[in-house]
Structure 1
Amino acid sequence: MKEAPLKVAVVFEIFLPVVNGIVTSGVNLAENLRALGQEVIFLVPDTGEFREPSLGGVPVYRIPSLPSRSYPGMRYVLPWNRAVGEILTRERVQVLHITGPWFLTMAAVRAARNRGIPVVHTFHTMVHEADYLLYMVRFRRLVPLVRRLGWRFYGWYIARCAAHTAPSALACRVLARQFPHSRPRQISNGVEGALFRREVPSREEVRRRYPWFGEQTVLFVGRLGREKSLEVLIRAAGVLRGRPGLEGFRLVLVGQGPEGEGCRDLVKALGLEGVVHLPGYLPHGELLSSGLLHRARVFATASTTENQPMTVIEAICCGVPVVVPDVAGIRELVEENGLRVAPGDPRALAGALEALCTDQDLHSRASRAALAMARRFDGAAVARQMLELYRQVLRTERGASLAPERPGRYTSRYDGKNDGKNGQRRDDEDTDRSCNF
């Protein structure tokens, strides 16, 4: 017998016009759930900028909020906001899906539990990493203390969820280590494959629109923040400047953020104005239709704080070889479709970029492997996995048997022993792909 459609509320702590991996993957999930006949609503903080009543057919409920300095784009919402509960009741929401721990999420979780609505949590951001915590505290020596407090704060949410997911094996292990009863399941971020198979401008057309675009363009797309290690990318470009066979080499950093001015200053200081370009932010649709991503020679990131970055997945879906640091989490996305390099090493990164820019056989093999890998991230398949989890939670006495035995007394097992240098993840965290704890 066909099961009745569900109504799911997805909570975002950051929303449009800010675009990040959580927003992109969450919107894709909602679109594919709707294609499967389900109903979805969004709960988002009201920034005064996004005013549309819906997005792609999904109603958007904006909750009054105030600016927060804790992290760019984050907002304060009263944790006891009554409007959230009224929306859940009026919309007859059956499952609440949260995407990050902050105060709108706290209000939504409180309201859901008061109404017997089970909560599903996705662990998207490696919030324990030093580069993220330094947005909250300015002194690195305070990071261990803030990390311990942060895990305890996160534990409040973990204790009140019926099920947990994470897009990468690493994130599953991190969550299970801190909260042993959470039993996270790996469900990948999804993308809409058709968006990447569309006809795009030729390389010549891209060059006419963007004169700095060349045959050997290396692209980065993302927030220009300290956690992205952009200095490593820029210094790698400096290593490659003027090398024989790399006359067409360009590094293009698409995005905006607090480190944008610092990046421009570094480019100028190194004399790389003709090699490194920062065109600013491009809306997602414009980025995909422009041909910049599809026609890039390589997609590269130096970030060591990633979980399962959507920008890397999108490059893979375009058949673009990728270069990433060889650290737990992001290395799960690179097999034969690119190269992994020592983290924080501009010369190692430069060597990998040079290889993919000059070795056509290597580039062709990596491109074919990327297109083959793209099938793993099919948004419809991801939505089916998530829908089955929602139904499982509802079947299991509204999620009660999947929740921790003593809600409200859920604490982290963090002891500091699993940290790498300066709070960076250790490579040995990625020894096992299994994460169904």
Structure 2
Amino acid sequence: MHVLITAVGHRTEHWTDLFALLADRPELTLTVVVADVSAQTDRTLRTLARQRPGLHYRRLPHLLGEGLTGHMASVLFRPYELHRAVPRRPDVLHIIGEAAYLSTWQVLRMRRERWPGLPTTLYAAQNIVMRFPTPFPQLERRAFDAVSHAFPITPAALGVLRAKGYHGPATFVPLGVDRARFTPAQAPPRARPFTVGFVGRLEPHKGIVDLLRAAELADVDLLAVGRGSLAHQLTNATAERPGRVRLHDWVDHDRLPELLRRMDVLVLPSTEVVQRNVLPWVGIPLREQFGRVLVEAMACGVPVVGSDVGEIPYIIGPAGLTCPAGDAPALAQRLIRLRDDVTLRDRLRRLGLRRASEFGWDRAADIMCEIWQRSPQRDRGNDRVGHSASRPAMAGTSGADAEGAERR
């Protein structure tokens, strides 16, 4: 089976682990077409393509782009290059991108012109019902008409799909973790000060200022891994608390587990913000859609603490602690509690390992392959099925009983 996967945007590094697992399956051949991805993602995918004969990789030139507008929704493939990148009809098309993205519209237009009726699956992570100006709602509805099966990453993402009018089949496929790479330390750590960790973009909506304040209030060490506009805040903190605050540059996924194992707790203190850098008159609420680093930390046996924003409480579940977003003293109290209660840390470590096992990329690959392999070839002359109409079932799931499969 030949699967065409398209993806755009700078924050696509985590998909490379899934692509590697899919490419290792003898029954699959992958063509991965991307645009406007980070240099790190490009290097990783080029390496994967050299190592795996069944993976074909193309990085295409793009129009507009995330760096210009601040949002992945604006990325467009250069049209001629997109058509040339996929010379033959695939068996399945999988789009990593929301229904309203310009790149999604572009890929679906190519599908309609070249491969009418091609089974198509769509990633969905949006966890807020946002109403965009014309033409984005129209693009969204067209995407819902064309998609055979949706892959929401959380229950909230499913709710947004339903609220916006997608009534077709859907199956939860959460973002995953490579459980062969993210593993607990083999030996107990050497004696060290209690260390709080952060991994991610050093931006205001990640709660960086609250994290610095909480670490100071709790009198704990802080190890932050990442880059961003607030890096200077960390640099200033390293001078104010020498030896207690460390800033580490972003690292490849191969080196991240080692850094996670140096932490006694990982914190994701995100807040909700409104983005206005795409269209100044349109405010776009930004709320954590997943919090993948929480799963990676749990897989490494590191307890986690997160704010109560977006999908963070759902991802943590019973395996960690949460606190009100923007409340540095409350976060400090959680850190003190973990620092002083070894029994609690051990319990959360065990619960976290169990929770992380539910988010393995191997499980995601199994679900996706099952649905792709059972996908029917839709009538090539009927490429505009109304999104309230009956759709052919995929993987034994119809629009009417989608919720049952979504709980797998």
**TM bucket normalised to smaller:** 0.7 to 0.9
8 Å CA contact 2:307–2:322 kept in 1: the answer is yes
Contact 2:294 2:304 in 1 (8 A): yes
1:88 is matched with which residue? 86
CA pair 48-120 structure 1, distance change in 2 beyond 3 A: closer
CA–CA separation in structure 1 for the residues paired with 2:241 and 2:294: 25
Aligned counterparts of 1:278 and 1:148: Cα–Cα separation in 2: 43
Q: What is the TM-score with the length of structure 2 in the denominator?
A: 0.77
Q: CA deviation at 1:121?
A: 0.8
- Are residues 1:299 and 2:269 paired? no
TM superposition shift of 1:324: 0.9
Which position in structure 2 is the counterpart of 1:63?
Answer: 60
SS at match of 1:190: coil
How many percent identity over aligned positions?
Answer: 25
1:184 alignment partner in structure 2: 170
Q: Distance in 2 between matches of 1:338 and 1:48?
A: 31
What is the aligned partner in structure 2 of residue 231 from structure 1? Answer: 209
Counterpart CA distance in 2 for 1:12 and 1:77 is 11
Q: Which residue of 2 aligns with 1:281?
A: 250
Distance change in 2, residues 1:11/1:127 (3 Å): farther
- Equivalence for 1:168: 154
In structure 2, what is the equivalent of residue 28 of structure 1?
17
Q: Which amino acid aligns with 1:285?
A: D
For 1:7, the equivalent position in structure 2 comes to 2
Aligned position for 1:138: none
Matches within 5 A, 1:28-427: 28-37=17-26, 38-45=28-35, 49=39, 50=42, 53-55=46-48, 57=52, 58-66=55-63, 67=65, 68-71=67-70, 76-78=75-77, 81-90=79-88, 92-101=89-98, 102-114=101-113, 115-116=115-116, 117-126=118-127, 153-197=139-183, 203-204=189-190, 214-241=192-219, 249-264=220-235, 267=237, 271-288=240-257, 291-304=258-271, 305-395=287-377, 397=379, 404-405=386-387
Q: 1:326 to 1:45 in 2, by over 3 A?
A: same
For residues 357 and 317 of structure 1, do their structure 2 counterparts lie closer, same or farther at Cα, with a shift above 3 Å needed? same
Q: Are residues 106 and 395 of structure 1, via their aligned partners in 2, closer, same or farther at CA, if it must alter by over 3 Å?
A: closer
Which secondary structure state, in structure 1, belongs to the residue aligned with residue 68 of structure 2?
Answer: coil
Deviations 1:251-296 (A, max 9, x none): 222111233235545x379x445433222211221222xx221231
1:82 is displaced (CA, Å) by 2.5
Shift of 1:361: 0.3
SS at match of 1:336: helix
SS at match of 2:333: helix
Residues 159, 369 of structure 1: CA spacing in aligned structure 2 closer, same or farther, 3 A cutoff?
Answer: same
> Given the superposition, is the C-alpha separation of residues 76 and 380 from structure 1 closer, same or farther in structure 2, using an over 3 Å criterion?
closer
Q: What is the root-mean-square deviation in Å for CA atoms of aligned residues? A: 3.4
Which stretches in structure 1 are left out of the alignment for 5+ residues? Answer: 1-5, 130-144, 208-213, 242-248, 408-432
State the aligned residue count: 365
- Looking at structure 2, the residues matched to 402 and 155 of structure 1 have their Cα atoms a distance apart, in angstroms, of 11
Instruction: Name stretches of at least 5 consecutive residues in structure 2 with no aligned partner.
Output: 272-286, 390-402
